[in-house]
């Protein structure tokens, strides 16, 4: 086997890396202050500086190209196995040798972010023993806020709004939050319309943070009134918040604290249906009653969005992409997997609890 020496060394280093990162990840304080607020901020800002000058989704193009190359390599390897040109042992050694540097790059640029100090601890939010009535009360308040903010937006404003305008205004919300939470300092934007948005939609992806390039990519199939929430969610990832419920919560805060009316509507639109889903788990009949409280304009927005994403629904999304992403999240410490997105409601209930105590 060619270059066997360096491959064995690479595999040994993979094992050392795994143990070392496990030790580091076990201490959330280390990860928070030395990685998230230190190394990660430096490296991600550097990456955004490199990619921010162009509107092209550099990271996604690289992923698409690598995916094609990977498929080609797999097919080629199968043929080589069938011709007995290579053994399974050789394939395993090659695979582990190349995984080693990839694993190192992933952990340094993104993987450790899953093990930072939880946002609820940073903000002193109590998410313990949330009662059903608290969820229902929150849902009612979100319905009222959604209706009120939607009524302030003329349809002409939505027609004139573009993704480029959303991207330009998005940092304003984080700028306002920074006055209270210095760790939410956001500079050097690198926010893009996702290349191959339809392909991402077939994978049920409304937005994606590309950690190799530091880019926040937003699917152009998103409705324009949902785009601010999706954009600020991906920006939260750029700030080092890997947890999906935390990114959702920060998106809610960033949109709510943005002076633009569409952003404020997006804050509530992006969370009210998650709250209603939570109520559905408590009492499905009552959840339907609450849904009927939404204004005709909000319901129309929801139906437009549903129709757009419905055409992308497919078996691969349900039986392959969904389970794989769920496994990815769980393997990175997100116990709820894909369901973690809805845990934003727990953080919002905790925020309400804290507000009521003041």
The answer to whether residues 231 and 306 belong to one domain is: yes
Domain boundary pick from 60, 86, 115? 115
The answer to whether residues 314 and 219 belong to one domain is: yes
Q: Which residue has the tokens 């990114």?
A: 247
The answer to whether residues 57 and 133 belong to one domain is: no
The answer to whether residues 58 and 171 belong to one domain is: no
The answer to whether residues 174 and 277 belong to one domain is: yes
Contact 207, 244 (CB under 8 A): no
Q: How many domains does the chain have?
A: 2
The answer to whether residues 143 and 255 belong to one domain is: yes
Domain boundary pick from 115, 148, 171? 115
Question: For residues 122 and 1, what is the distance between their CA atoms, to the nearest angstrom?
Answer: 51
The answer to whether residues 318 and 193 belong to one domain is: yes
Per-residue pLDDT in tens (0 to 9) along the chain, 358 residues: 566 777 788 889 889 999 999 999 999 999 999 999 999 999 999 999 999 999 999 999 999 999 999 888 888 888 877 777 777 788 888 788 888 999 999 999 999 999 999 999 999 888 888 899 999 999 999 999 999 999 999 989 999 999 999 999 999 999 999 999 989 999 999 999 999 999 999 888 999 999 999 999 999 999 999 999 999 999 999 999 999 899 999 999 999 999 999 999 999 999 999 999 999 989 889 999 999 999 999 999 999 999 999 898 888 777 777 676 677 666 666 666 555 556 889 999 999 887 754 3
The answer to whether residues 99 and 174 belong to one domain is: no
Boundaries of domain holding 310? 120-357
| Two tokens, residue 301 | 């927005």
The answer to whether residues 46 and 152 belong to one domain is: no
Give residues with Cβ within 8 angstroms of 309, minimum separation 6.
201, 204, 221
The answer to whether residues 111 and 133 belong to one domain is: no
The answer to whether residues 176 and 297 belong to one domain is: yes
Q: Is the dihedral of CA 278, 334, 327, 272 positive or negative?
A: positive
Contact 341, 245 (CB under 8 A): yes
| Two tokens, residue 21 | 């990162």
pTM for the whole structure: 0.91
Domain boundary pick from 115, 145, 168? 115
The answer to whether residues 90 and 131 belong to one domain is: no
């Amino acid at each position: 086997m060619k270059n066997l020496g360096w491959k064995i060394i690479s595999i040994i280093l993979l094992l050392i890396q795994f143990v070392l990162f496990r030790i580091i990840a076990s201490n959330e304080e280390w990860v928070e202050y030395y990685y998230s607020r230190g190394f990660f901020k430096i490296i991600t800002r550097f990456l955004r500086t490199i990619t921010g000058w162009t509107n092209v989704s550099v990271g996604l193009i690289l992923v698409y190209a690598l995916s094609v190359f990977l498929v080609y390599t797999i097919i080629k390897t199968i043929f080589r196995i069938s011709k007995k040109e290579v053994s399974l042992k050789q394939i395993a050694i090659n695979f582990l040798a190349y995984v080693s540097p990839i694993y190192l790059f992933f952990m340094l640029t993104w993987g450790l972010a899953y093990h930072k100090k939880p946002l609820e601890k940073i903000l002193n939010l109590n998410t313990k023993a949330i009662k059903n009535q608290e969820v229902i009360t929150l849902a009612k308040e979100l319905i009222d806020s959604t209706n009120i903010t939607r009524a302030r937006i003329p349809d002409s404003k939505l027609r004139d709004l573009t993704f480029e305008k959303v991207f330009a205004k998005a940092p304003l919300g984080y700028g306002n939050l920074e006055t209270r939470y210095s760790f939410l300092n956001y500079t050097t934007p690198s926010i893009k319309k996702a290349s191959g948005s339809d392909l991402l939609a077939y994978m049920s992806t409304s937005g994606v943070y590309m950690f190799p390039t530091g880019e926040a990519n937003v699917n152009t199939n998103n409705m324009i009134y949902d785009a601010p929430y999706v954009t600020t969610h991906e920006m939260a990832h750029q700030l080092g918040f890997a947890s999906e419920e935390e990114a959702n919560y920060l998106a809610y805060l960033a949109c709510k604290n943005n002076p633009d009316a569409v952003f404020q509507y997006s804050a509530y639109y992006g969370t009210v249906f998650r709250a209603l889903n939570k109520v559905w788990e408590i009492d499905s009949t009552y959840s339907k009653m609450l849904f009927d409280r939404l204004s005709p304009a909000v319901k129309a927005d929801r139906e437009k969005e549903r129709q757009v994403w419905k055409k992308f629904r497919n078996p691969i999304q349900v039986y392959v992409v969904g389970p794989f992403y769920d496994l990815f999240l769980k393997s990175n410490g997100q116990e709820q997997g894909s369901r973690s997105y809805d845990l934003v409601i727990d953080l919002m209930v905790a925020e309400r609890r804290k507000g009521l105590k003041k």
